[in-house]
Amino acid sequence: MSGQKLIIIGGGGFAREVIWLARDCGEIWTPYAILDDNLSTHGQSFCDVPVIGAIDSWHEYMDAYFVVAVGSPRTRRKIVKRMAANGTPRFATLVHPSVMKSRYVSLGEGSIVCAGCILTTQVSIGKHAIVNLASTIGHDVSMGDFCTIAPQVAISGNVSLGDGVEVGTCATVIQGNKLGDGCFVGAGAVVSKEVAPNSLVVGTPARHVKSLDAFTLKEL
């Protein structure tokens, strides 16, 4: 087996995309197995990678690296918390080779940057974040832990995203705005002003439609 052994957490569509990403990285990673809590998937294979057990069995594979391939920030946070309760898993940071980024980009452990993305300069991305296909992140952007950026999102310069922020497909965040912890920006929205924590905003310009359950990292 060439490359570091990689176990994917989650058995959904994004997990299959992460398998592709890891394989495209050449000899860096070898997708070894999938862990998923859906018992009906056990014994099956997805993209020729077997499902070998439930998430809580991760500690049986201490020689592997892990990546949580689950789109929802709140669900991803819960999974990482569960894993940390049973030890200290090693989390992989995955960047597709087609990604364009400067040397002034920092990525936290467990984060995933998918094919076709552009990250310019002085960009800071926290732990267990996802930047999905063909998204762009401008200069001086700060992104917290457990954020999810959907495909084809455009984030302009000097934007601050708190922990657990989710930005929907094809949304745009205008320069200089702040998105509070746990907020959700709907698909196609244009964010032209600050978004309050734990709020759902939609439309052009984006407007508040409801409050969400609080997102917190205090228990991690």
The confidence score (pLDDT) of residue 87 equals: 94
The confidence score (pLDDT) of residue 14 equals: 98
* pLDDT tens per residue across span 156-188: 999 999 999 999 999 999 999 999 999 999 999
Where does 94-204 sit in CATH, by number? 2.160.10.10
pLDDT beyond 80 at 190? yes
* pLDDT tens per residue across span 23-73: 999 999 999 999 999 999 999 999 999 999 999 999 999 999 999 999 999
Beta strands 184-185 and 166-167 are: parallel
Quick one: CA dihedral 48, 21, 142, 187, positive or negative?
Answer: negative
Pick from 128, 124, 118, 129: which is nearest to 104 by CA? 124
Mean pLDDT of 116-138: 98
Q: 219: pLDDT confidence band, cut at 50, 70 and 90?
A: low
The confidence score (pLDDT) of residue 1 equals: 55
Phi, psi of 95 (to 5 degrees): -130, 120
List where CATH 2.160.10.10 sits in the chain. Answer: 94-204
Phi, psi of 143 (to 5 degrees): -125, 130
DSSP 82-129: HHHTTS-PPBP-EE-TT-EE-TTEEE-TT-EE-TT-EE-SSEEE-TT-
* pLDDT tens per residue across span 66-95: 999 999 999 999 999 999 998 999 999 999
pLDDT beyond 70 at 218? no
List where CATH 3.40.50.20 sits in the chain. Answer: 4-84
From residue 73, alpha-carbon distances to 68, 197, 205 in Å are: 10, 14, 24
Average pLDDT, the chain: 96
The confidence score (pLDDT) of residue 2 equals: 75
The one-letter amino acid at 94: L
Beta strands 65-68 and 45-46 are: unpaired
Domain 4-84 in this protein, CATH class: alpha beta
Can you read off the two tokens belonging to residue 83? 């894993």
SS3 state of residue 144: coil
Within 8 A by CB and 6+ apart from 48, the residues are: none
Pick from 159, 170, 162, 165: which is nearest to 135 by CA? 170
pTM: 0.96
Rounded to 10 degrees, the C-alpha dihedral 112/152/217/143 comes to: 90
